[in-house]
Amino acid sequence: MQDARGSVAVPETGEPPLCPLRAALATRPCVEHYDDFCRVALSLFRFIGAAYATGASDCWEAAYRFADEAPDIADSPLLVARVAALVRILRSGRPCELCFMPPSCKRLSKDEAQLMRLLAVARSKQAGELETIVCQLVGSGNEIATTRAVTALALC
pLDDT of residue 60: 97
pLDDT of residue 88: 93
Residue 26 lies in a domain: no
- Whether 133 is covered by a domain: the verdict is yes
Q: What share of the chain is helix, strand, coil (3-state, %, to 5)?
A: 60, 5, 35
pLDDT per residue as tens, the chain (156 positions): 444 445 444 455 555 666 655 554 455 567 777 888 999 999 999 999 999 999 999 999 999 999 999 998 999 999 999 999 999 999 886 767 889 999 888 889 999 999 999 999 999 988 788 988 898 888 678 899 999 999 999 998
- Model pTM score: 0.78
Give the pLDDT confidence score for residue 3 in this predicted structure.
47
Domain housing 73 = 33-154
Residue 12 belongs to a domain: no
- pLDDT given at position 98: 87
- Domain annotation covers residue 105: yes
Angle between helix 143-154 and helix 110-123 axes, rounded to 10 deg: 70
pLDDT computed for residue 17 by the predictor = 62
Question: Residue 134 in contact with residue 144, Cβ under 8 Å?
Answer: no
Scored b (16 or more CB within 10 A) or e, 90-126 reads: beeeeeeebebbebeeeebbebbebbbbbbbbbbeee
* 107 in a structural domain: yes
Residue 112 belongs to a domain: yes
Asked if residue 20 belongs to a domain, the reply is no
Cβ proximity of 41 and 119 under 8 Å: yes
What pLDDT is recorded for position 96?
74
